[in-house]
Structure 1
Amino acid sequence: MELRQIIYFIEVAKKEHVTEAADKLHVAQSAVSRQIANLEAELGVQLFIRQGRNVKLTAIGQIFLQHMEQAVHVIEHAKQVIEEYMDPERGIIRLGFTSSMAAYILPNVISAFCEKYPNVQFRLSQGSHHEMQEKLVSGEINMALLGPVPTKSSSLDGTILFHENMVALLPENHPLACKESIQLDQLRAEKFILFPEGFVLRDIVVQACRQLGFSPDISFEGEELEAIKGLVAAGLGISLVPEITLVDGQIRSAAKVPVKDPEVRRTVGVIIPVDRQLLPTEKLFYDFLKEFFKRLKRYQY
C-alpha cells in the first residue's frame, strides 16, 4: 500500500467522482482509476460501488476511509514536527474557535502573538463547541479556543484563561434597558432569542433560568451572534450573551444590562488533546495564550 494510493482513495471518496478527483489532484483519470484498482486488489475488497459516472463507498470502504484519514493526519503531523523543530517561529498553527471568540478574543490574541512571532502562519477553523471537540479528537486540529471549558472529557485537557459574565441584551426601548443591573427572575415573562439546541451558550441560559424555577420562552433561534443581536434590536425578544462579544462599538437599537442574583457566568479557555503533544509552534502559542490572559487582570476574579 502506497501513500499515493491512500491520497487518491481519500479524494475519490470525498468527490464521489473519479474525474473530479483527478482534476483536484492534477493527474490523469486513468492514473487514479488504476491506483484505486490496485488498492482494492491488494486489500481483496471492493471499496467503491460504481454508479454511472459517480462512485459511492461500500460499507467496508467507509471504515477504511476513517482509518486512512487518521493515518494521513499522523503522517502530516510527523512532517510538520520535523520542520518546526528546525525553527518553531516559522511553523503553522491549526487553531479552532467558536463564534463567540471571533469578534474580539481571537483577533486580539493572534495580533499580539504575530507582533512577537511574525513568521508563524495560522490555519483557522470555526465551528460549534461540540465540533471543536470532535476535530481535536480526530486530529484535524490540536488546539481550540472556546467557552465554557469542558471538564468531563478524558481525551481533552482544558485550561481556563478567564471567567466572564453573560449579560442581558434588551431592545433599547425595553423598560429594563436603563437599569444599572437586573435580576434574572425579572426576565421570566420575556420572549428569549437564543442559539439552537445543541449549542452550549443556549444550555447556560436555560440551566440558569431553570434554577430559578422557570423555563425561558424561546421565540427565535439563531446560529450566529450577529443574527441574535439583530433580532433583539428589532424588538422581537431579549437574550443573554457573553459580555466579551459586546466589548467593541455600540449595539444598534439595543442595550446591554448586567445580570445579578444570580450572575450567569461561563469559563473561557483553550483545549488540547491528551493523547498527543503539541507541535513546537503550537506549544509556543499555547504558552503565549496563558501568559497573555494572566497579564489581563480585568479578566480575573
Structure 2
Amino acid sequence: MSSLEQFMVFKEVAEVGNITQASKRLHISQPSVSIQIQNLEHEYGAPLFYRTNRGVTLTDPGNILYEKVILILHTAQQAKETIRNYSANRTGYIHIGATLTIGEYLLPHMMSITQRDHSLLRYNVQVANTQVIVNEVLNNYLNISFVEGVAPEEDDLEVEQFWSDELVLIVSADHPWRDRGEITFDELISERFITRENGSGTREVLKRALQQGGFDVDELNIAIELGSTQAIKEAVLSGLGVTIISALTVQEECRQGRMRMLRLKDCQLERPLNIVTNRKVMLTPEEQWFLEEVRCEETLRALLPKPILPGQPLERIAG
C-alpha cells in the first residue's frame, strides 16, 4: 500500500473513531486497516491513537500527523485534477481575480501575452474589491488574483509585488494649474477636492502617503465623495474640483488633452500592485506560465502603452 493510501486509511480512522467502521467505509478488511495504522506508528516512532473498547482517539502526535495528512491529500487531489485537465494545446481557462484599477486598466494589456505565444488560452476574469477577491482566493475559487495596495495578512496567502502604481494629482485641461509640474500641499488644501468614499483602498493609500509626508488628510477641502473612479474623472472634467487617483486610470484622458497630471510636492504617492495566491493551491501549468510572464518586468513594460508622466507637455503627449 502506498503512502497516500496509508494516509487515507489513517484519515478515515481518525474521523470515524472506529477501526471496524473505517474498514467498512474503505471496503478493506479490519486487519488490513490495523496493520496500516501500526506501520505508520512504527514509521513515525509514536503512538497515533488511544485505543479503548469504544473506539480510538488521536494522540498529540496523531493530531499533528492528521493536520499534515489533510494538507497532503488535498494537494494530491489538486495535482490529480490539474494533470487530468492538462491539455497539450493549452486550451483551458485561466481564472483570474482583480481589483478595480488593475482589472479595468492593466489586466487587458497583461492578457495580451496570450496572443503572442498561446492564442488558444481563454480567460475568466472576476473584478471586485480587495476583500471579495481575497476571499475567493482563500476559498479556492480563484487561483490567481491581482490586488492594489496592501493585501490582508492571512497565513495561507502568498503576496508578491509585480508592479507599482503612482497616485497623481489630476486637474482639467482648463484649470489654472494645468501647466504646473507639481503643487504644494498648501495650494492643494485651498482647492475643492474630489475623492473616493471612506473605506476605499485609494483613499486609504492617500491618507497614509500624506501622513508619511507630514501632511494631514483632514486639511483637504473635500467637496465631493464618489464611489467610482469614472465618476470622479467626470466630476474633474466638469470643473467641480481636483483629485488624486491612479495614474493608470487617466492615461487616455491625458493623451486626449482633456486632463493634466501633476505631482504633489514633497510627497511620494505610490502603492504596490500585488499578485495574491493561496500557498495551499497548486497552480495549473497555464497559470504558472502566465505568472512567469507577468513577473518579467521587461515583458510587462512592452505590453503596456507608453505612460503619460506628470507634468509632461501637451505637445509631447500629442506626439
Q: TM-score, normalised by structure 1?
A: 0.66
Residues matched between the structures, number: 227
Which of residues 284, 290, 294 is equivalent to 2:295? 290
Structure 2 distance, partners of 1:103, 1:115, is: 21
| 1:103-252 correspondence runs (5 A) | 103-150=104-151, 152-210=153-211, 211-215=214-218, 216-249=220-253, 250=255
Deviation at 1:103, TM superposition (A): 4.0
Q: Determine what percentage of the aligned residue pairs are the same residue.
A: 20
Q: Deviations over 1:204-247 (max 9, x none)?
A: 11233344134133332333221110011111121111112222
Q: Give 5+ residue unaligned stretches, structure 2.
A: 1-74, 308-319
Structure 2 distance, partners of 1:217, 1:150, is: 29
Q: Deviations over 1:37-66 (max 9, x none)?
A: xxxxxxxxxxxxxxxxxxxxxxxxxxxxxx
Q: Deviations over 1:122-152 (max 9, x none)?
A: 1110101222111111222111122124273
Deviation at 1:186, TM superposition (A): 2.6
- 8 Å Cα contact 1:234-1:253 kept in structure 2: no
Deviation at 1:195, TM superposition (A): 1.9
Deviation at 1:289, TM superposition (A): 0.8
Q: Are the structure 2 counterparts of residues 181 and 80 from structure 1 closer, same or farther at C-alpha, using a change threshold of 3 Å?
A: farther
Q: Are the structure 2 counterparts of residues 82 and 261 from structure 1 closer, same or farther at C-alpha, using a change threshold of 3 Å?
A: same
Q: Are the structure 2 counterparts of residues 145 and 251 from structure 1 closer, same or farther at C-alpha, using a change threshold of 3 Å?
A: farther
CA RMSD of aligned residues (A): 3.0
Deviation at 1:277, TM superposition (A): 1.8
Q: Give 5+ residue unaligned stretches, structure 1.
A: 1-73
Q: Does 1:91 align with 2:96?
A: no
Residue aligning to 1:258:
263
More displaced 10-residue stretch of structure 1: 237-246 or 226-235: 237-246
- 8 Å Cα contact 2:293-2:300 kept in structure 1: no
Q: TM-score, normalised by structure 2?
A: 0.63
> What's the secondary structure of 2:296's corresponding residue?
helix
Structure 1 distance, partners of 2:81, 2:235, is: 44
Query: Aligned partner of 1:101: which letter?
Result: I
> What's the secondary structure of 1:176's corresponding residue?
coil
- 8 Å Cα contact 1:94-1:124 kept in structure 2: yes
Query: Aligned partner of 1:242: which letter?
Result: S
Larger Rg: 2
- 8 Å Cα contact 2:226-2:232 kept in structure 1: yes
